[in-house]
Amino acid sequence: MILAEQLAEGAACLGVELAPPARQKMLDYLQLLEKWNRVYRLTAIADSSRAVSHHLLDSLAVLPFVDGTPLLDVGSGGGMPGIPLAIARPELQVVLIDSNSKKTAFLQQAVIELALGNIAVHCGRVEACQPTVRFAVITARAFADLGTLVSSSRHLLRPDGRWLAMKGRWPDDEIARLPAGVRLAGVHRLPVPGVEGERHLVVIESDAAACRGE
């Protein structure tokens, strides 16, 4: 199966509508990632077919849970899930943050080459980030444990916002160690086409939002 067909069929299985230009832009993104990966080791996945499933489709699987803008992608690394989400939904304003300058150099180049006007890139630690607006959604993929994610980015989330943390197996231990002031809103198993291992999305919100019924 060619990559374009794999992406189109996988997105359809996830219930995500992707126009042909968006699909092409995602494949262009993978080509750019592969090019930079030869020097900067942005991802351990070198096979293009696996990159479609484990990078693009894995990222798109969280799209139904993204219910607000702007979105902050913490520890974005090679740009997942932020870049695929921004390509799929051009109206979504996305900020990619990573403390590794080589990774943010790639992210900035991807934004330029792919003409992604709805993405901004920030190099630095999330704890030190002081944006002018707070975020409706904070995503993280293999960034840290849930407690660290919440404590390091709590000041960046709107009172009615949510964290969307992408995990492999159900993270019982991490959930048990969530800090005070937040609650578990749900854990959703994500069936990602082409990914055999377990994938879960942990949704966390502040106690204040929960008390208001939001």
Cβ burial, residue 195 (10 Å; 0-12/13-18/19+): middle
Strands of the chain (E only): list them: 71-74, 94-98, 119-123, 135-141, 157-167, 182-189, 200-206
- Spell out the domains of the chain, with CATH numbers in brackets: 3-211 (3.40.50.150)
Q: At what angle do helices 20-40 and 3-14 cross, to 10 degrees?
A: 110
Instruction: For residue range 114-153, list pLDDT tens digits in order.
Output: 999 999 999 999 999 998 899 999 999 988 899 999 999 9
Tell me which residue of 58, 70, 61 sits closest to 95, measured CA to CA: 70
The pTM score is 0.93
Provide the percentage of residues in the chain whose pLDDT is more than 90.
Answer: 84
Residue ranges in the chain whose pLDDT is less than 70:
1, 44, 208-214
